[in-house]
Amino acid sequence: MDLSVVIPIYNEEDNIVALYTRLREVIDPMALRYELLFVNDGSLDRSLALIQELAVRDERVRYIDFSRNFGHQIAVTAGLDLSAGDAVVIIDADLQDPPELIVPLYQKLHQGYEVVYAKRRSRQGESAAKKFTAKLFYRILAKITNISIPVDTGDFRIISRKVVDALKLMPEQSKFIRGQISWIGYRQTYVEYDRAERAGGETGYTYSKMIRLALDGITAFSDAPLKAATISGFIVSGVAFAVLIYTLYARFVTGEYEPGWPSLMTSILFLGGVQLIAVGIIGEYISRLSANVRQRPLYIISDTNITRKEPHSTQELR
Ligand code: UDP
Ligand code: MG
């Protein structure tokens, strides 16, 4: 199998047939062995029935049907897990990601890259609020994470089998696939495109789903919010110390002070600072705990000339 196309589906009855037609128009001339892998993420409309109809007529249409709505990132993960292609395209079902871009994505991949993502040059038909929050989020995320997650990029991209296999080694619960793919490394590049309007239906991404995605992205790839607690703790403690010096000076040198005020100020600031530092310390432990709980591999090897299959197998020891 040369190519798998993974398509998460949540209430996309208006788009499925159009998407299928356009995908075939694009991929058929490429003369590849391919599959179209639809992941039905608990749709409440006729999406599943439409996919099943397609599957009857075209054996390259495969589908996974979830028992309920698990969310976009999980749907994509399931598609990747069951995909068979040497290269895998992740694409939205609503035709906002133009299928025609699969051709340049595929070509670029074969120029020696493992990941080619599609970068949005512009976005059409999306509310100013959505564009603004998306722009802000991508930039904040780029600032505070220690890996470089490309800005203005969704999950529309092509990845090689190597990257799919690496993703399978990352069984974390809160998925942020574009972050994981950045974390994995390898040679990555992009092609630019203009993001179209949603063809039909409505967005399945409610604000609460977007906020959850944002929090998953931040907490999985950054300790910045925790560090903020520690740093503000030290700053507040510093202020407390300065006020302490000042009150001692006022009390014993100039003698200009309101009774009770110096001790009150100092103790409030001091306690606040101590608490924030304590929260920060606990946070440091929690961040290490959560890193272990995520069970990410420590490293991903790109190439080696060691061919041993099981370097430390019990067989050898015996
Ligand atoms: N989607 C999904 N599960 C969800 C929400 C969305 O599988 O809970 C799918 C949806 O069918 C589409 C893709 O994820 O193929 C992107 O969703 P959408 O277009 O609604 O997001 P937007 O483009 O508005 O950010
Ligand atoms: Mg969309």
pLDDT per residue over 60-99, tens digit each? 999 999 999 999 999 999 999 999 999 999 999 999 899 9
Pair 288, 307 in one domain = no
Pair 311, 276 in one domain = no
pLDDT of residue 251: 80
Pair 246, 193 in one domain = no
Name the burial class of residue 136, with classes exposed (0-12), middle (13-18) and buried (19+) by CB atoms within 10 angstroms of its CB.
exposed
| Segment 11-40 mean pLDDT | 93
Domain count along the chain: 2
Pair 28, 166 in one domain = yes
| Residue 96 alpha carbon to ligand 2 centre in Å | 6
| Segment 249-270 mean pLDDT | 80
CB of 219 closer than 8 Å to CB of 283 = no
Report the share of the chain in percent with pLDDT over 70: 96
Pair 236, 188 in one domain = no
The whole domain housing 69 covers 3-202+297-315
Quick check: is 70 in a domain? yes
Task: Look at ligand 1, atom 3, and give the residue with the nearest C-alpha.
Answer: 72
Closest atom of ligand 1 to 202 CA is: 20
| Residue 177 alpha carbon to ligand 1 centre in Å | 14
> Which of 24-28, 117-121, 284-288 has the weakest average pLDDT?
284-288
Quick check: is 229 in a domain? yes
| Residue 153 alpha carbon to ligand 1 centre in Å | 15
Give the residues across from 117 on adjacent strands: 157, 190
Give DSSP secondary structure letters for 53-106. HHHHH-TTEEEEE-SS---HHHHHHHHHHH---SEEEE--TTSSS-GGGHHHHH
Pair 132, 180 in one domain = yes
Pair 162, 193 in one domain = yes
pLDDT of residue 145: 81
Pair 131, 170 in one domain = yes
pLDDT, one tens digit per residue, over 134-192 is 888 888 888 888 788 888 888 999 999 999 999 999 888 888 999 899 999 899 999 99
DSSP, collapsed to helix, strand or coil, labels residue 3 as strand
Give the orientation angle of helix 161-168 with respect to helix 177-184, to 10 degrees.
110
CB of 80 closer than 8 Å to CB of 6 = yes
Quick check: is 275 in a domain? yes
Quick check: is 209 in a domain? no
Quick check: is 210 in a domain? no
Ligand 1 site-directed mutation target among 64, 135, 205, most atoms within 8 Å of CB: 205
pLDDT of residue 312: 55
Pair 266, 125 in one domain = no
Q: Which residues have CB under 6 Å of ligand 1?
A: 8-10, 12, 41, 69, 71-72, 75, 92-94, 96, 198, 203-205
| Residue 124 alpha carbon to ligand 2 centre in Å | 11
Quick check: is 208 in a domain? no
Pair 260, 165 in one domain = no
> Which of 89-93, 126-130, 213-217 has the weakest average pLDDT?
126-130
CB of 226 closer than 8 Å to CB of 277 = no
Task: Look at ligand 1, atom 5, and give the residue with the nearest C-alpha.
Answer: 204
Quick check: is 141 in a domain? yes
Quick check: is 216 in a domain? no
Residue 9 has pLDDT above 90, yes or no: yes
**Residue 302 — very low, low, confident or very high, per pLDDT cuts 50/70/90?**
low
Q: Which domain CATH number covers 34? A: 3.90.550.10
Pair 187, 245 in one domain = no
Pair 231, 172 in one domain = no
Across the chain, mean pLDDT equals 86
Residue 255 Cα distances to 252, 258, 259, angstroms? 6, 9, 10
Residue 248 has pLDDT above 60, yes or no: yes
Q: How far apart are CA 73 and CA 173, in angstroms?
A: 10
Task: Look at ligand 1, atom 16, and give the residue with the nearest C-alpha.
Answer: 92
Could you give the count of Cα atoms lying within 13 Å of 218 in the half-sphere of its Cβ?
A: 17
